[in-house]
Structure 1
Amino acid sequence: MTQELPPHESHDSHEQTPDYETVSVPVLVIGAGAAGARTAIELAERGVETLVVGKRDHGDAHTTWAAGGVNGALGSLDPEDDWTIHAADTLKEGHFLNDPVAVETVTEAMPDRLRELDEWGMAFDRTEDGEIAQRYFGAQSFRRTAFVGDRTGEAMLDTLVAKAQSLSIPYRENVLVTELLSDGQRVYGAVAVDLEDGHFVLFETDYVVLAAGGASALYGRHSSRDDENTADGPALAYEAGAELMDLEFVQFHPTGMMGDRYGEEWDGRLVTEAVRGEGGRLYNAAVSASEASGGSGERGSPGGERFMERYSPDQMELDARDVVARAIAQEVREGRGTENGGVYLDISHRDADYVRERLPKMYERFQSLGVDITEEPMEVAPTAHYTMGGVDIDWETGATRVDRLFAVGETVAGVHGANRLGGNSLAETVAMGKVVGETVADRDPGSSELPASMRAYAERSMASLRELAASDGDVAPAELVEELRRVMDEHAGILRDAESLRVGLDRLAGLRERTADLRLDGDRTSESFELAVDLSFLLTVAECVLRGALLREESRGAHSRTDFPEMDPEWRRNLLFHRTETGMAHRSRGVAEPSETVREALDAGYELDYHHLE
């Protein structure tokens, strides 16, 4: 890797070409979570020089917020489980909109990836005989979710970072990539801003791997920190010429923190599915029959009705996330929610020591907020959590339709279909990270020398960013981001209809017009500058979500149209969007069929019986 350090930049407003640092490297990995780290590890082990860049401190990626576990059919507790049943569960949860190659690639690989993480030092919880322990997760036929208490993502990322450091993989933190250098046919590098001091960085590279996360921060109530999952990956790929697919499918996790007692900082933050996997129960705020007759209700009950008995009597709280989220939304809509618009999640019927052992992070978090979850319920409501859609890739390689541009992790679409099986997000990162690393390592390295046209394009991009930082209009970027989130909450939430979606698109167009009047302070290290860049990413992906939701005239998985409440077999198609000179265009394509072995697992009809937990 070679680089040229930048000279002191002149701030003369008449300067045409900003000074910048140039970094030349064979492979640039954008994103330092589990997907980016596992890709870089594979490349390094195959002798390929790689640079990983992240927009936060090293080790501070959104992977750490994935708490409950990671799937793989090890059969530690249920020996009859295997990868084909895992694939079948994934397809059923995705309502058969998944790419079957994606599903089979991930599920078949995961037992080996879990053993690999174990060898690298990930401290999985263990069974009495020393095997990797596994727990139930929603809509899974067997116990196949491996875990480290309720801090699995954090433990996974720590393990991957330690492995990367042992291989001396170079990493740059606090670098915000603003644009990929692409002619629509091939990618040549990227433009970025170093958030430490604001100087520009020009990356010239043979290959780019996007591992920059999803777009759940499009919504006001979401499980990410506000500066994470801001649609960087999908938007960068779209502008470079790749296609985006199925972005109308946004997963609303059923249990995000809700209520005045937690404070604004915690609103929407995830209450891990592991709480329900360990036996947590959901109650509404209605008066129960027992209370009405003077009884005391069952032990641990907060007094309301255990409403999942009406929606899913067999799978109860461990039904698919879209089913549970819609059930909660319906309870609230019909007046059986809490004063804050939520419901109660209760695990106080379990032994207190067991709860503290299996859910230490949840216990400590709520304890710090004055709630002892071993004695009282948590107030929860659905929260935007994951984008099933993203960049369309070839699932045998990870390649996009733009030459030398690859993508992995939540940035991509395909494996999850219309709704993600809990525990599959972390699985996808390490399974496909290895595949992408293998593919890129086997490719011809070519030349990373930047064509003159691309260098000129990069310099124009930097000039535009400098002008953006100096914008002196009347609207703060934070104001438009907040308004965009209101638009998405109100028009592209759990329940949708055509009229509301059209209003959402109109409001989105109005927000785009207002971006011409932004007000920043001229400092490229400022929060307002980063928000302005994020806003451009978010607007692009928000349009895909709204347009896809309007086009898809059916209800399937996480996409629920009140004006088209049934699933339509004719809509077993993926929606793809691409950029044209006149704006956003779309097409659709049919979904392939799974392999014969996975079809056999589907025909066998495996299914979780919640009452195994009782």
Structure 2
Amino acid sequence: MVQGQYETYEHDVLIIGGGGAGLRAAIEAKAQGVSVGLICKSLLGKAHTVMAEGGIAAALGNVNPEDNWQVHFRDTMRGGKLLNNWRMAQLHAQEAPERVLELERWGAVFDRTKDGLILQRDFGGHRYARLAHVGDRTGLEMLRTLQQHAVAQGIEVYMECTVTRLLKDGDRVVGAFGYRRSTGQFIVVMAKAVILATGGIGKLWKFTSNSWECTGNGTMLAVDAGADLIDMESYQFHPTGMVWPPSVRGTLVTEGVRGDGGTLRNSSGERFMFRYIPEFFKAETADNEAEADRWYTDKKHNRRTPDLLPRDEVARAINSEVKAGRGSPHGGVFLDIASRRPADYIMRRLPSMYHQFKELAGVDITKEPMEVGPTAHYMNGGIRVDADSTATAVPGLFAAGEVAGGLHGGNRLGGNALSDLLVFGRRAGQYAALYAKSLSNSPTADTSQLDACARETLMPFEGKGAENPHAFHAELQETMQPLVGIIRTETELQEALVQLGQYRQRLPQVRVEGGRTYNPGWHAALDLNAMLTVAECVTRAALERKESRGGHTRDDYPAADPRFASVNVVVRKRYGAIVTALEPTIEMPEDLRQLIEEKG
């Protein structure tokens, strides 16, 4: 209903975000018998989850019967450099198989083994072939399935709406304030519980695989409401994004290319990854090309190819090759599957990659190698949540998916993102519904709070200067790309903080013309506040961790420091300022610690 200037609705549970985590949360909350609303920034079915390509990591054991949740847990913890919340890693590994089978029951059409089981492919950091997939379009099929199931349950969806603030009653979150992107009409959705499932922050960087939605809105909403953030320094730069032509630089090249036999080579044709095998993986990684090739034909033996090391290791190796002058003509390296697999195999297994390179770069990947390089891809950290319930430190607020931290620690293994969405999306919906049921009173927010939100949202129309929001965003990216990118130093991080402070001072000078109807400049201006907040969180966390570990690499502290081995960097807002703290990781039970220490 419309009350004055605010279009107002009420639900027991409100989910902000229409990707995999948000849809899975909505389905589960609805199954608990509560009223559910889902609000999304774009059209339903267009969330960034559709761009996930490689597969869903789950220890089904369909290709390698030796696989089980314990091995998956160990791989996840090792890949995260043991900074992970061990309980989240345990729940994820244990529950992922059932979530995949559930998706199949709801109509997802997976690739199959010759015996009719769900086919699984190899991916970096995973001991066994573990990724259930649909060619290289897994995210699209997953979102299609979840969307159809959610719509069938009668979930109320508010499409093309941007949330600008969470509403609070004292310390408790009681809803969200936002506006409809098409008309500019203010929308207020009151709720007993709110789930953030807003995805990542990749649009902070110039070269990124992320779509336009990924501007860190949910992360800002959480930290402004009083939630803690964790591991924000551990941003993942995927090793293989397109590097040419410039118009598509950063577009993702799925790890499935390497999982299906592709190899990384420098300008001399050398498989350079053999030079970069870290001590942590030496015992289980092939140390010569012949042995690696045997791995592809007989995966029952004990060692894997170094092309499938965890993403942080591969990204740093590519960066080193380019810096040493051994890169490809356009500043990347070569990824070759043409000489490794027949054309029909490539077309069947990697149809999206074939069309992507053919149409965007004029490259036929069945005949010639691709040029690839690191691209901003995924926030390993995020909002700190309780492992079992996904509850944040703020009563009434939950979080799941890429916006939530803890599961991945210092670095995410490929394929764990999609199973993360399913496992913790379900848990968020379940526990948010239980929380809502425990409350008897309807949520309320005073008029003065709504009016303050409205004034803040309209500020870009009253800007005192002539700053263009799109040019402003481009400037921010030009700061983040070199200063808070894949390789960092204290001097550059401090310089970034200075520039971010200057941007913050300039923000009131941003001005947009026209009205609230169909105004992309207004949308861009409002996103700037979120991006500046999250950029500062990442930069301050990166300054705090004076070592190199996982997705965080400091050129001035190139080695891992034992003093940081069991420490998370926590970021929060206090009295209007972003502050950081070092806090110990949650102690792991002895039986799980022994699993991690096992060889192999």
TM-score range with shorter-chain normalisation? over 0.9
Q: Kindly tell me: are residues 388 and 559 of structure 1, through their superposed partners in 2, closer, same or farther at Cα, counting changes over 3 Å?
A: same
Query: Structure 1 residue aligned with 2:483, among 491, 502, 508?
Result: 491
Q: What residue is the counterpart of 1:581 in the other structure?
A: 575
Q: Kindly tell me: are residues 590 and 449 of structure 1, through their superposed partners in 2, closer, same or farther at Cα, counting changes over 3 Å?
A: closer
Q: What residue is the counterpart of 1:317 in the other structure?
A: 307
Amino acid at match of 1:545: V
Amino acid at match of 1:435: R
Q: What residue is the counterpart of 1:180 in the other structure?
A: 166
Q: What residue is the counterpart of 1:211 in the other structure?
A: 197
Partner deviation per Cα, 1:488-513 (whole Å, 9 max, x = no partner)? 11111111111111111111111111
Shift of 1:435: 1.1
Q: What residue is the counterpart of 1:235 in the other structure?
A: 220
Amino acid at match of 1:160: L
CA contact (8 A) 1:471 1:521 kept: no
Q: Distance in 1 between matches of 2:367 and 2:64?
A: 31
Q: Distance in 1 between matches of 2:515 and 2:381?
A: 34
Q: Kindly tell me: are residues 183 and 241 of structure 1, through their superposed partners in 2, closer, same or farther at Cα, counting changes over 3 Å?
A: farther
Report 1:348-387 matches (<5 A). 348-349=338-339, 350-369=341-360, 370-387=362-379
CA contact (8 A) 1:25 1:51 kept: yes
Q: Distance in 1 between matches of 2:77 and 2:13?
A: 33
Q: Distance in 2 between matches of 1:184 and 1:329?
A: 48
Shift of 1:464: 2.4
Q: Distance in 2 between matches of 1:239 and 1:497?
A: 28
Amino acid at match of 2:368: E
Partner deviation per Cα, 1:522-564 (whole Å, 9 max, x = no partner)? 4333111111111111111111111111111111011111111
Query: Structure 2 residue aligned with 1:533, among 496, 502, 526?
Result: 526
CA contact (8 A) 2:166 2:175 kept: yes
Q: Distance in 1 between matches of 2:589 and 2:109?
A: 34
Amino acid at match of 1:203: V
SS of match in other structure, 2:141: helix
Q: What residue is the counterpart of 2:432 in the other structure?
A: 440
Q: Distance in 2 between matches of 1:580 and 1:130?
A: 55
Q: What residue is the counterpart of 1:16 in the other structure?
A: none
Query: Structure 1 residue aligned with 2:49, among 44, 63, 68?
Result: 63
Q: What residue is the counterpart of 1:402 in the other structure?
A: 394
Answering whether residue 168 of structure 2 is matched by residue 171 of structure 1, we say no
Q: Kindly tell me: are residues 446 and 523 of structure 1, through their superposed partners in 2, closer, same or farther at Cα, counting changes over 3 Å?
A: farther
CA contact (8 A) 2:195 2:432 kept: no
Q: Kindly tell me: are residues 204 and 435 of structure 1, through their superposed partners in 2, closer, same or farther at Cα, counting changes over 3 Å?
A: same
CA contact (8 A) 1:553 1:564 kept: yes
Q: What residue is the counterpart of 2:297 in the other structure?
A: none
CA contact (8 A) 1:408 1:436 kept: yes
Q: What residue is the counterpart of 1:593 in the other structure?
A: 587
Q: What residue is the counterpart of 1:282 in the other structure?
A: 264
Partner deviation per Cα, 1:435-468 (whole Å, 9 max, x = no partner)? 112212222143333143xx31111110222232
Task: Please report the TM-score for the alignment, with normalisation by the length of structure 2.
Answer: 0.93
Q: What residue is the counterpart of 2:111 in the other structure?
A: 125
Amino acid at match of 2:549: R
Q: Distance in 2 between matches of 1:575 and 1:207?
A: 27
SS of match in other structure, 1:176: strand
CA contact (8 A) 1:470 1:522 kept: no
Q: Distance in 2 between matches of 1:600 and 1:122?
A: 36
Q: Distance in 2 between matches of 1:400 and 1:467?
A: 30
Q: What residue is the counterpart of 2:128 in the other structure?
A: 142
Q: What residue is the counterpart of 1:256 in the other structure?
A: 241
Q: Distance in 1 between matches of 2:325 and 2:60?
A: 43
Task: Please report the TM-score for the alignment, with normalisation by the length of structure 1.
Answer: 0.91
Q: Distance in 2 between matches of 1:555 and 1:30?
A: 34
Amino acid at match of 1:67: E
SS of match in other structure, 1:335: coil
Q: Distance in 2 between matches of 1:401 and 1:191?
A: 20
SS of match in other structure, 1:39: helix
Q: Distance in 1 between matches of 2:470 and 2:451?
A: 27
Q: What residue is the counterpart of 1:344 in the other structure?
A: 334
Q: Distance in 2 between matches of 1:228 and 1:339?
A: 32
Amino acid at match of 1:216: G
Answering whether residue 561 of structure 2 is matched by residue 568 of structure 1, we say yes
Q: What residue is the counterpart of 1:331 in the other structure?
A: 321
Q: What residue is the counterpart of 1:192 in the other structure?
A: 178
CA contact (8 A) 2:197 2:403 kept: yes
CA contact (8 A) 2:548 2:560 kept: yes
Report 1:404-419 matches (<5 A). 404-419=396-411
* Worse overlay, 363-372 or 88-97: 363-372
CA contact (8 A) 1:25 1:448 kept: no
SS of match in other structure, 1:495: coil
Answering whether residue 86 of structure 2 is matched by residue 86 of structure 1, we say no
Greater than 4 Å deviation, 4+ residue runs: none
Amino acid at match of 1:258: V
CA contact (8 A) 1:223 1:268 kept: yes
Q: Distance in 1 between matches of 2:576 and 2:419?
A: 38
Shift of 1:179: 0.7
Q: What residue is the counterpart of 1:478 in the other structure?
A: 470
CA contact (8 A) 2:540 2:580 kept: no
Q: Distance in 1 between matches of 2:158 and 2:439?
A: 22
Q: Distance in 2 between matches of 1:184 and 1:336?
A: 58
Q: Distance in 1 between matches of 2:443 and 2:258?
A: 53
Partner deviation per Cα, 1:137-167 (whole Å, 9 max, x = no partner)? 0011111111000000110000000110111
Shift of 1:205: 1.3
CA contact (8 A) 2:258 2:307 kept: yes
Amino acid at match of 1:229: C
SS of match in other structure, 2:560: coil
Q: Structure 1 regions of 5+ residues with no counterpart? A: 8-18, 289-303, 607-614
Amino acid at match of 1:161: Q
Query: Structure 2 residue aligned with 1:515, among 466, 490, 507?
Result: 507
SS of match in other structure, 2:145: helix
Q: Structure 2 regions of 5+ residues with no counterpart? A: 278-285, 288-304
Shift of 1:595: 3.6
Amino acid at match of 2:275: R
Shift of 1:326: 0.4
Query: Structure 1 residue aligned with 2:35, among 25, 49, 59?
Result: 49
Q: Distance in 2 between matches of 1:516 and 1:52?
A: 31
CA contact (8 A) 1:190 1:204 kept: yes
Q: What residue is the counterpart of 1:32 in the other structure?
A: 18
Q: Distance in 2 between matches of 1:449 and 1:144?
A: 44
Q: Distance in 1 between matches of 2:329 and 2:357?
A: 20
Q: Distance in 2 between matches of 1:128 and 1:492?
A: 47
Q: Distance in 2 between matches of 1:52 and 1:305?
A: 50
Q: Distance in 2 between matches of 1:44 and 1:183?
A: 25
Amino acid at match of 2:100: L
Query: Structure 2 residue aligned with 1:462, among 451, 454, 462?
Result: 454
Identity of aligned residues (%): 42
Q: Distance in 1 between matches of 2:22 and 2:203?
A: 20
Query: Structure 2 residue aligned with 1:428, among 400, 420, 440?
Result: 420
Q: Distance in 1 between matches of 2:203 and 2:55?
A: 22
SS of match in other structure, 1:255: strand
CA contact (8 A) 1:206 1:446 kept: no
Answering whether residue 14 of structure 2 is matched by residue 5 of structure 1, we say no
